[in-house]
Homo-oligomer: A and B are copies of this chain.
Amino acid sequence: MSDKKHKILDAALDLFANEGYTATSTSKIAQKAGVSEGLIFRHFESKKGLLHAIMQEAEDRLRDVLADILCEKDPRGVIRKTIELPFNIRSEEYDYWRLQYKLKWDKDYYNPDKMKPLIEKLKEAFALLGFEESEQEARLLSHVLEAVSIELLRGNMKDPQQFKSFLLEKYKA
């Protein structure tokens, strides 16, 4: 990929994630990327096309992160890794996640199936550990995971490590 195309993607990710998609103009993106505005349309056709390219990358990263959990054999390991998930987000990737969570409110981009494999895996893990209502437990944990991620991404959690330890303790993971 060309250097400038990459710069455009970087700038757009930052702005889309932090200012919002509609609030971000293509001229702002071009300015931040240090390229001419026309180049954006040359590479991505439209503003929507640019967003699409970014979301493609974001979904790839989601898949990568989930893959490690999905091939875990030990049920406790599955739960531990799931709990650790939001706490392990690399700060360079924050914008990808922020954008994903923001767009969840957008009908065009929200896809509940993206998390389905993880929930199935969790259900299996809870069942193996002898939990009665394994599906509900899986849903509960995935909800906690979601809320914690949002809190962390907004930079609004007081003491992340302490809360992480608390969760790991609670789930004996």
List chain A positions with a Cβ less than 8 A from chain B.
20, 22-23, 98, 101-102, 104-106, 110, 112, 133, 136, 139-140, 143-144, 146-148, 150-151, 154, 156, 162-163, 166-167, 170
Give 24 pairs: A residue, B residue, CB < 8 Å, sorted on A: A20-B20, A20-B105, A20-B106, A22-B22, A98-B105, A102-B105, A110-B154, A112-B156, A133-B166, A136-B162, A136-B163, A139-B163, A140-B163, A140-B166, A140-B167, A140-B170, A143-B143, A143-B148, A143-B151, A144-B144, A144-B147, A146-B147, A146-B150, A147-B147
Complex Cα–Cα for A147 and B22 (A): 25
Interface of A is mostly: helix
| Chain B residues near A22 (CB-CB < 8 A) | 20, 22-23
Residues of B within 8 A of A170 (CB): 140
CA distance A102 to B21 in the complex (A): 13
**Residues on B with beta carbons closer than 8 Å to the beta carbon of A112:** 156
How far is the CB of A93 from the nearest CB of chain B, in Å?
A: 17
Contacts of A133 in B (CB 8 A): 166
Shortest beta-carbon distance, A87 to chain B, in Å? 13
Task: Collect the chain B residues with CB atoms within 8 Å of residue A105's CB.
Answer: 20, 98, 101-102, 154
Extra 17 A-B pairs, beta carbons < 8 Å, given A22-B23, A105-B154, A133-B166: A20-B105, A20-B106, A98-B105, A101-B105, A104-B150, A136-B163, A139-B163, A140-B144, A140-B166, A140-B167, A140-B170, A143-B143, A143-B144, A143-B147, A143-B151, A144-B144, A146-B150
